Structure 1
Amino acid sequence: MSFVTSAPATSMRRVQLPETHFAVVRAFDVSLGDIGQLFDSAFPACARAFATGILVPDGPAICRYLRIDAETDNCDLEIGFPVASALSQPVQLDGQEFVPSCTPAAEYAMQTYFGFYDGLNQAWSAFVSTMAANGLQPAGPCLECYVTEPAPDLDPATMRTDLYCPVESIAD
């Protein structure tokens, strides 16, 4: 899967990514504080879809933020996995509807965050500041790629999440 780099990016880097297809659960107007509950319902359905062969993952889990309202802290997002080929139609499983999604081929800024998920807001703030300091601004929906699968006995300091944001020059 093209989103995952073998080595973590300890500082921001620019990468060119190809078009990538996903099977996702979409949610609209979700409070940022409630995202964990959404993950807790979507990912077990994903695992069952993989076990039955209904969906075939082509990389680690992602969350793509389509919209974030700074005033309300509500967002529209997609939670799912990259797939080798695009879904031809939605798939219903365990009360979840998986729909096709796609990120376009584009230039992205990316950086790796190590730590528990509650530190991601701070990581995003620092990442966006670094982009601006390098003359870049977001040019579309950003996403998180959960390289390390969470487990009960896992040291949170080793949990790797890669942050991706399509970018354009501030002057554009």
Structure 2
Amino acid sequence: MTGEETLPIPAEPRTGTEMLELGAIPIASVRHDGQTTDGLRELYDATLGAVGQAIAQGLITPSAAPFGLFHGDPMATFDLEIGIPVAERLEEPIEVAGVRISPSVIDPGPFAARSHVGSYDSLGRSWMALVQDATTSGAAPGGRWLEVYVDDPREAPEESLRTELFMSIARP
């Protein structure tokens, strides 16, 4: 690592909601603007396939698990960055398998975090619990929603898939 920040992923799943302050985290990502929840699986498959090829070719070095970073309301139309935190920032975009992977950053700030263990189809319950815990403690959503896919769904049983959830907190 070059002193850059990476995502705080605990060795074991979190047992509740935690409030965290994240620094700027360098990422290699593909931005998809104007998305809805329809067709996300195919979008993830194509994007993460290209990211995996970039890793295999030595073009990027990951520092944490792949993610989806939703900008806006994930229940409506949103912008989505799919990618991976990197040990060293990309100097410029790269193209792999016809997909343009660009340097970017997860902006610093306060976040609420919670672990989800189970299928992706049941993520909504964990998101609702995270939002409820954060708002009960006086925090308001800041408009960025981050899912970190700790386990590879091709290798782990669906019921044991671990996803780390991060909700940005609005600053007063």
TM over 0.5: yes
CA-CA distance at 1:126 after TM superposition: 2.3
- 1:20 matched to 2:17: no
- 1:167 matched to 2:172: no
CA distance in 2, matches of 1:159, 1:39: 16
CA distance in 1, matches of 2:16, 2:132: 12
Q: Structure 2 matches for 1:101-116, cutoff 5 A?
A: 101-116=104-119
How many residue pairs match? The answer is: 167
In structure 1, stretches of 5+ residues that fail to align are: none
Residue of 32, 44, 55 corresponding to 2:37: 32
Q: Tell me the secondary structure at the aligned position of residue 136 of structure 1.
A: coil
CA-CA distance at 1:121 after TM superposition: 2.4
- 1:83 matched to 2:86: yes
CA distance in 2, matches of 1:79, 1:41: 10
Q: TM-score, normalised by structure 1?
A: 0.89
Change beyond 3 A, Cα 1:82–1:137? same
Q: Tell me the secondary structure at the aligned position of residue 139 of structure 1.
A: strand
Does the aligned pair in 1 maintain the 2:36–2:74 contact within 8 Å? no
Q: Give the alignment's Cα RMSD to 1 decimal.
A: 1.7
% same residue: 27
CA-CA distance at 1:107 after TM superposition: 2.0
The one-letter code of the counterpart of 1:162 is E
CA distance in 1, matches of 2:20, 2:11: 13
The runs of 4+ residues in structure 1 deviating greater than 3 Å are none
The one-letter code of the counterpart of 1:14 is M
Does the aligned pair in 1 maintain the 2:72–2:143 contact within 8 Å? no
Q: Tell me the secondary structure at the aligned position of residue 33 of structure 1.
A: coil
Does the aligned pair in 1 maintain the 2:150–2:164 contact within 8 Å? yes
